[in-house]
Amino acid sequence: MAKLNQIIAVEKGAKSKAHHELAAAQRDVLKPALLSGIARTYQPKDEEGEQLPPESTRVQVQAEQVLRSATVTLSRLFDVTATKDWANCEARADVTVDGRVLVADVPVTYLLFLEKQLVELAQFIRRLPVLDAAEAWNLDASTDAWKTEPVRTIRTRKVPRNHVKAEATEQHPAQVEVYYEDIAVGYWTTVKFSGALPARRVNELLERVEKLQHAVQFAREEANGAEVADRRVADAVFGYLLGS
């Protein structure tokens, strides 16, 4: 008795062969010259007339024969695919992580779906925003967000000052240079908030997704290793289609 994974492999070859042979048959039946034949003889009007040899062209393609050949090829594909699809309804396995069954008795078709979704989920997690590692963050229960410790900074204002470069004399006024001095006028207290995630959390999520991916892949292989019963549907289908 064959296993499901063997039937899946055989189906790929059957599909390829059926596609190739049907395409070739389609090309043949679309060529009128291959379907046509002729036979003719020549008889002169009198005995002294020119004698010509008979001419004939054989029919090279019989549409009925093309149908029978196509039926043979398609019958193999129909039966193999039926065997696979019936088996997919029965092939099941448990998804187990760290010795614990997360989902029991999962059909192989759902395992394939789950495997694809986990790939997309892993990509989504890798793109999640991560907290700036240059800051120290703490979870704030009142805002349900991450925040930093308060940081106090000085607010300054530029105040003009005069610098006398030369005192005034009877002949010349004083030489004064204006410059600006930063004077503290207040203090800013800043707390930063963020809705991003700690890198540790993102790494934990990725680790769990990858572990679950491995478990699903293992379960799929186990389900695909189930023995299957051959199904025969082609005789009934083509018996009806080509019946006289």
Helix (H), strand (E), coil (C) string for the chain: CCEHHHHHHHHHHHHHHHHHHHHHHHHHHCCHHHHCCEEECCCCCCCCCCCCCCEEECCCCCHHHHHHHHHHHHHHHHHHHHHHHHHHHHCEEEEEECCEEEEEEEEHHHHHHHHHHHHHHHHHHHCCCECCCCCCCEEECCCCEEECCCEEEEEEEEEEEEEEEECCCCCCCCEEEEEEEEEEEEEEEECCEECCECHHHHHHHHHHHHHHHHHHHHHHHHHHCCECCCCCCHHHHHHHHCCC
pLDDT digits (tens, 9 = 90+) for 188-217: 999 999 999 999 999 999 999 999 999 999
pLDDT digits (tens, 9 = 90+) for 213-239: 999 999 999 998 888 888 899 999 988
Average per-residue pLDDT for the chain: 90
Mean per-residue pLDDT, 152-176: 82
Per-residue model confidence (pLDDT) at position 30: 83
Mean per-residue pLDDT, 145-168: 88
Per-residue model confidence (pLDDT) at position 177: 85
Cα–Cα distance for residue pair 83/75, rounded to 1 Å: 12
Percent of the chain exceeding pLDDT 70 equals 99
Per-residue model confidence (pLDDT) at position 244: 60
From 16, 31, 29, 103, select the one nearest 65 (Cα to Cα). 29
pLDDT digits (tens, 9 = 90+) for 54-82: 989 888 888 888 888 889 889 999 999 99
Angle at 51 between CA 47 and CA 54, to 5 degrees: 130
Cα–Cα distance for residue pair 242/64, rounded to 1 Å: 10
> Band of the pLDDT at 168, cuts 50, 70, 90?
confident
Query: 1 to each of 10, 85, 117, 226, 227, how far by Cα in Å?
Result: 14, 16, 32, 10, 6
Copy the structure tokens of residue 192.
Answer: 């930063």
> Band of the pLDDT at 1, cuts 50, 70, 90?
low
Query: What's the pTM?
Result: 0.67
